[in-house]
A = this chain, B = another copy of it.
Amino acid sequence: MAKKFVYKFAEGKADMRNLLGGKGANLAEMTNIGLPVPQGFTITTEACTKYYDDGAKIDSSIQKEIFKNLEDLEKVTGKGFGKKENPLLVSVRSGARASMPGMMDTILNLGLNSETVEGLATLTNNARFAYDSYRRFIQMFADVVMEVPKPLFEEILDEQKHKKGVSLDTELDENDMKEVVKKFKALYKKQKKSEFPEDVREQLILAVEAVFRSWENPRAIVYRRMNDIPSSWGTAVNVQTMVFGNMGNDCGTGVAFTRNPATGENKLYGEYLMNAQGEDVVAGIRTPSAIAELKKQNKAVYEQFEQISKTLENHYKDMQDMEFTIEHGKLFMLQTRNGKRTAKAALKIAVDMVKSGMWTEKDALLKIEPKQLDSLLHPQFEASALKKATPIAVGLPASPGAATGKIAFTSAEATERAAAGEKVVLVRLETSPEDIEGMVSSQGILTVRGGMTSHAAVVARGMGTCCVAGCSAVVVDENAKTLTINGKKYTANDYISIDGSTGNVYGTQIQTVPASLSGDFGKIMSWADKYRALSVRTNADNPRDAKQAYDFGAEGVGLCRTEHMFFEADRIMAVREMIVSKTVEEREKALAKILPMQRKDFEGIYKEMKGNPVTIRLLDPPLHEFLPHTDAEIKELAKEMGLTFKELKETVDNLHEFNPMLGHRGCRLCVTYPEIAAMQTRAIMEAAVKVNKEKGYKITPEIMVPLVGEKKELDYVKEYIVKTAEDVIKKAKSNMTYKVGTMIEIPRAALTADKIAETAEFFSFGTNDLTQMTYGFSRDDAGKFLKDYYAKKIFEQDPFARIDEDGVGKLVAMAAKLGRQTRKDLKLGICGEHGGDPATIEFCHNVGLTYVSCSPFRVPIARLAAAQANIKNPRN
């Protein structure tokens, strides 16, 4: 039997979503549960795929199938397609597997031509309505199918109103509409060099093709990339009998949710407009009424709708988003789907649904999109204050949240003014590691240059601080300490406000409200903890982040990057002394200066973590990152350090690398300078011993060696770690234990994980570097060409955001398996930025990892995602 490409609504059902699209499946489902749905049929997503495979053509056999279904529809409705008597008019709408609201195209009133319009006029006894419908159809068809610019039609309509001396469309009469139709057709002919199609079958096929085409329009492509929807899915097309909400005052149209999508309140919520078509509701010319009003206007219809809405929520077991039309007092359901909701609503609905017994706790956990929680974890602008503000510029939404404060132009200034109690927003051309302190002190960060993966963006996201990056409309004059936006100058005494979720920049102070973890949130998190198998840790480099993460439920630190501590103003000089040292003795002397500072950092983190495990990574970046690079800076530093320019310049030159990413860093530094590992181990252990004695927390430090690619590398470094750690323990007369483990971030480490596990007591997958090396591109450089990869559909998602399961994931799975072959109880974690991505967390669960580690603000997201993973695929 030939493949079936067209299904009547009565032939489908809800679980055929992949084939019929969301809308089609729901129309079928509603039809089958007996709800009043205008009849029609769905052309499948497979037909869309075939359309592209066939070189953007609808195969003749599919065309035949479409017309066969149309004939059946004529029979069911008793109307005739293209017939003057009782003409059948249809809507043609897209409907993909996943909801993509507004991304694709719709055509209404299809089936009208110069004959049927007359029939419609006669039938409805309303020529104005008939010609209004016709002109709407011409406009939509010309726009969607033929790409005639919409404004050209709007001009004609405006002209007509002007001529008539009226201001509303509704004030135009039958004759006006007839004239408009004539002008629209003339415009069409002028633009397309052909008559507007009279053949309604031709209209239909062209419209279906246009919907298929709209699957690949630019905004749909962008939406898909943002939502991880593969282009191979395609869209279905729904052809449905038109019903009209604009045939008189006993007609109307509306949208409603079974519960409040903003708050989650369990009460029908929505709005409607009498004598209107759907687009009028959206256009905002007339103000729609709240759905509750309908009860007064037409009690019977309201009650029927209320009943249907309950039926639908019970049937779909979720909050529904519905569209309806009332035609001459008769209610038609045009669409239902699970309703989008705010994070806050999602939590409340979930808790309510469990309370009412509709959902189990597991159902509730699976219903919440983990990423959505992010919006609840950062300060936001106070809603009424925001309404009054207008953005003066837009940058990239680099790190979510809202911030308001006076402008600080340098990191030092930000630190100083913040210490004096002022709230500041740091504005920089771009940030560098030396800005860390200023970034920590600021409410938010605004940069002129740099993208979503720039230093400012990455660090801000890590800290959970709001950041707008790459806002090129801002002109900064660092010397004059002013910034100019659109010609207006701002000084250090002026306020700005930034929204890291939208990228908006405001030139005024806007009140913010702190994140609040409401009761529903707490309940959901407690359920998540009950059902998850993965542990959730955090990446934290300082006590502030550690505390934040602990408050968000982190069960330990999975990655503490010690080098971030090296950049702070009070220690960078000691670090530089260490780098320019010519002998082990000189180097040890410089390291001795750093030791007490590092120890103090670790003490703070141990205290905040209250005895939970803390994994500390030894120094990772290449040493040249700590030195200046321009001659002027080198000259200045040389003077400060008591060196000649030539000496320091030589050190800088010697440290230069062609590919720093693949250079002298990570454990390679410890192989060359084992005294660095020894100093860091001493700081780690001494701090642990001290906090253990002071607070009684039972601490088992986990010392992590980065960038290992060969077991013997780890053996060599571990020897120094063990020697130092044992010395500290012995001197302190402590019985503290500790673990030595490694990052798995080099492909070779994954490939030889069985050997490495002989030495390593734990693995932590550094999937940032592992992704770079497995793909062979550096994150710093890939931005330039990856845009072509997205445009050309070679990549459909960002491998740095979501783990690449086919390549990088294969290495992770392999390493996990090999490692556990050697050491059955090997602790396995992930600490790349992927650790906070729900899809990656599911992967980590499935390959048997022990924990994920993510930035503090992603901890709640990770807890939920871990629970979902274990509910879907329970671990024994």
Contact = CB atoms under 8 A, between A and B. Distances in A.
Given A661-B658, A662-B662, A775-B709, A671 B792 contact: yes
Contact of A658 (B769, B781, B807): B781
A793 B778 CA distance: 30
Nearest to A793: B712
A828 interface: no
B664 A781 contact: yes
Given A712-B794, A746-B775, A807 B751 contact: yes
A774 B794 contact: no
A811 interface: yes
A774 B769 CA distance: 12
A780 B776 CA distance: 16
Interface in A124-143: none
Contacts of A785: 664, 668, 671-672
Contact of A780 (B659, B777, B792): B659
Given A659-B660, A807-B709, A746 B716 contact: no
A794 to B, nearest CB: 4
Contact of A810 (B751, B789, B793): B751
B794 A710 contact: yes
A363 to B, nearest CB: 36
Interface in A782-832: 782, 784-785, 788-789, 792-795, 804, 806-808, 810-811
Given A712-B794, A747-B776, A661 B664 contact: no
Interface in A662-709: 662-664, 668, 671-672, 707, 709
A657 interface: yes
A766 to B, nearest CB: 11
A748 B807 contact: yes
B751 A811 contact: yes
A752 interface: yes
Contacts of A709: 774-777, 807
Given A710-B794, A794-B710, A776 B662 contact: yes
What is the predominant secondary structure among interface residues of chain A facing chain B?
helix
A452 to B, nearest CB: 17
Nearest to A715: B794
A811 B775 CA distance: 14
A260 to B, nearest CB: 44
A562 interface: no
Contact of A774 (B664, B747, B804, B810): B747
Interface in A760-778: 769, 772-778
B707 A776 contact: yes
Contacts of A657: 778, 780-781
Nearest to A664: B785
Contacts of A794: 671, 710, 712-713, 716
A564 interface: no
Nearest to A814: B751
Interface in A335-382: none
A755 interface: yes
A781 B751 CA distance: 23
Contacts of A707: 776
Contacts of A810: 751-752
Contacts of A795: 710, 712
A358 to B, nearest CB: 43
B780 A769 contact: no
A416 to B, nearest CB: 32
A675 to B, nearest CB: 13
Given A716-B794, A751-B810, A788-B672, A776 B781 contact: no
Contacts of A788: 671-672
A811 B747 contact: yes
A562 B422 CA distance: 61
A748 B769 contact: no
Contacts of A778: 657-659, 662-663
A747 B746 CA distance: 10
A412 B747 CA distance: 43
Interface string A741-752: 000011110011
A718 to B, nearest CB: 12
Given A662-B661, A662-B662, A664-B785, A807 B712 contact: no
Q: Which of A657, A659, A772 is the most central at the interface, judged by chain B CB atoms within 10 Å of its CB?
A: A659
A445 to B, nearest CB: 22
Contacts of A804: 748
Q: Which of A671, A752, A772, A777 is the most central at the interface, judged by chain B CB atoms within 10 Å of its CB?
A: A777
Nearest to A787: B672
Contacts of A776: 662, 707, 709, 745-748, 769, 773
A69 to B, nearest CB: 36
A624 to B, nearest CB: 11
A811 to B, nearest CB: 7
B658 A780 contact: yes
Given A716-B794, A794-B713, A781 B748 contact: no
Chain A to chain B: the 9 pairs with minimum beta-carbon distance, closest first? A748-B807, A662-B778, A659-B778, A746-B776, A663-B781, A658-B780, A747-B747, A659-B661, A659-B659
26 contacts: A657-B780, A659-B659, A662-B777, A662-B778, A662-B781, A663-B781, A663-B784, A664-B785, A668-B785, A671-B788, A671-B792, A672-B785, A672-B788, A707-B776, A709-B774, A709-B777, A709-B807, A710-B795, A747-B811, A748-B774, A748-B808, A751-B806, A751-B810, A752-B810, A755-B806, A769-B776
Interface of A: 657-664, 668, 671-672, 707, 709-710, 712-713, 716, 745-748, 751-752, 755, 769, 772-778, 780-782, 784-785, 788-789, 792-795, 804, 806-808, 810-811
